[in-house]
Amino acid sequence: MERNEILKKIKQFFSIEELVCPHAYRKWGQRAWQFLDTDFLETLYVIRKDILGVPMYCNVGDYTQRGLRCNKCKMVANKSVSYLSAHVLGKAGDFSVDGMTAAEARKKIIENADKLPHQIRMEANVAWLHIDVLEQYGVDERIHLFEQ
């Protein structure tokens, strides 16, 4: 899919305020879409629409750093070492899924791996659904489960 088509489709399910930190949204507004990776957006669209089929939530309520994180976010600013996660690169999000635990959502995504347009990583054994499209050298599997 071409980026403009992906943006049009993903906006049916997510707002930019939900996918980027408040700092990025305050400075860039709707232009903050430019910081989100195209492969991530396409993958998120397919997971939401074709695999899980239920609402997913990123930055809602008290959560503000589950999508794109900038240098002003506490999770980044408090690091004492270089922090180059998929979140700061616009390639990741942490989600809550309607009617499913994170483990159930991960299982359903794994069962439907053939539908994914790109390789993904998912964080294992956590209470949220972390999805990213950060390439891992030497990893060829469609879905790579990792632990922090």
Task: Please give the span between the terminal C-alpha atoms of the chain, in angstroms, as a whole number.
Answer: 32
Are 42 and 1 in contact, with CB atoms under 8 Å apart?
yes
The whole-number average pLDDT for the span 10-21 is 97
- What is the tally of structural domains in the chain? 1
Residue 56 sits in a domain whose CATH number is 3.30.1380
Who has greater pLDDT, 55 or 71?
55
Judge whether 41 and 11 are in contact, CB under 8 Å: no
pLDDT digits (tens, 9 = 90+) for 60-83: 999 999 999 988 888 777 877 777
Provide the mean pLDDT of the chain: 94
For residue 37, is pLDDT > 80?
Answer: yes
Mean pLDDT (whole number) for 87-103: 97
> pLDDT, tens digit, for every residue of 97-137?
999 999 999 999 999 999 999 999 999 999 999 999 999 88
Q: How far lies 85's CA from each of 75, 76, 101, in Å? A: 11, 9, 24
pLDDT at 70: 87
CB 87 within 8 A of CB 126: no
d(C-alpha 32, C-alpha 67), whole Å: 12
What is the domain range of residue 25?
Answer: 3-146
97 strand-pairing partners: 56, 100
Q: How much is the average pLDDT of 21-41?
A: 97
pLDDT attached to residue 87: 93
